[in-house]
Amino acid sequence: MSKVLALMLAAGRGSRFGSDKRVARLADGRSLLAASVERAQQVFAEIYVLLRNEDDPQTLGLVADCRTIRCAEADQGMGHSLAAGICALADQDADAIAVLLGDMPWISANSLQQLCEQAAPERIVYPLYDGQRGHPVLFGRTFWPQLLNLSGDHGARELLHAHAAACQAVILADSGVLRDVDRPEALLVR
């Protein structure tokens, strides 16, 4: 099986939420970001959380030994954040990087495992639920140089279109691959 690193993007401002959603509490008392990281830890041996320069990991509910990457240009958009994360991990021994979002704690561990099983250096893997593409997206090492050139707030969507033949959709019965938190009421939905 391919070695897959996890890169959790958590440097955005979450402006639609109205406050720092990363510290918003779930019903069980965990912060949204901590719950997302804990879910990823069930599958990935190495998880890196991408934060803004000024972030305090413990204030965000992360454990002291959590691996973090800092992005000074996070306010310029998800593309900048993703490029910073890939740059920091480019020398790691891995076949693929799973790009997770810090506001998606409801993805099942089984779904993450199924995605990892399809990962390969020359492949881009993503989940499909009810015909919709979700998260995380796993980028094989072949695509890392192109991820380094991302900027702005577009993320890697254009990369998926440009390399459609390398994309592998994994159909999952898991609505968690679509469920993120943009507004406070999203925390209440079961």
* Higher per-residue pLDDT: 18 or 34: 34
Per-residue pLDDT tens digits for 16-27: 888 889 998 998
Mean pLDDT of 118-123: 97
| Confidence category of residue 122, pLDDT binned at 50, 70, 90 | very high
Q: Which residue range forms the structural domain that includes residue 76?
A: 4-187
* Average pLDDT in the chain: 92
Residue 132 has pLDDT above 90, yes or no: yes
Output DSSP code: residue 185.
G
CATH number of residue 82's parent domain:
3.90.550.10
Percent of the chain scoring above 90 in pLDDT: 71
Selected residue with higher pLDDT from 33 and 77: 33
Residue 42, pLDDT score: 95
Q: Which two tokens stand for residue 161?
A: 């279109």
Enter the tokens of residue 149: 């050139």
Task: Report whether pLDDT(38) > 60.
Answer: yes
Whether residue 190 has pLDDT greater than 70:
no
Q: In Å, how far from its chain's centre is CA 35?
A: 13
Question: How many folded domains does the chain comprise?
Answer: 1
168 pLDDT exceeds 70?
A: yes
pLDDT, mean of residues 128-156 = 91
pLDDT at 152: 78
Q: Which pLDDT band, with edges at 50, 70 and 90, does 15 fall under?
A: confident
Output Rg (C-alpha) for the chain, integer angstroms.
15
HSE toward the beta carbon, residue 181, CA cutoff 13 A = 33
104 or 2, which is more confident: 104
60-117 residue pLDDT tens: 999 888 999 999 888 888 888 999 999 999 999 999 999 999 999 999 999 999 999 9
CA dihedral 166, 171, 176, 178 (to 10 degrees): 60
